[in-house]
Amino acid sequence: MKLSVQSLTLDRLARSYFCLFLLQLRRIQSQHQEELKRVTQDLEDESYNRSSMDKRLTNLRSEVSYQKRIENGEEGSPDY
């Protein structure tokens, strides 16, 4: 079987394109991983902030409830 120069050139060209495709795919994959890390960190930060805000709201509600009981002459200690 005799291979022509043209078929060897096309084979090399195809391999070159495939290598370029793989490089681009790896670059995109890396960018995607970095974006996932950023999004995950943002979600964790938001969850922490929300938890802190919920605790603060709970404390404020307890304070308001305690103040109302005092105004109404009820006995008791603060819930916070």
The answer as to whether 68 is a domain residue is: yes
| Helix residue ranges per DSSP H, 1-80 | 5-71
Between CA 30 and CA 11 the distance in angstroms is 29
Q: What is the pTM assigned to this prediction?
A: 0.58
Position 44 in a domain: yes
**Is residue 3 domain-resident?**
no
pLDDT level of residue 74 (50, 70, 90 thresholds): confident
Q: Give the chain's domain count.
A: 1
Measure the CA–CA gap between 12 and 15, rounded to whole angstroms: 5
User: For the chain, what percent of residues have pLDDT higher than 70?
Assistant: 88
- Segment 24-46 mean pLDDT: 97
Q: Is residue 6 in some structural domain?
A: no
Residue 29 falls within a domain, yes or no?
no
At residue 53, the pLDDT reads 94
Residue 40 lies in a domain: yes
- Say whether pLDDT at 64 is over 80: yes
**11 in a structural domain:** no
**Structural domain for 60, as ranges:** 36-73
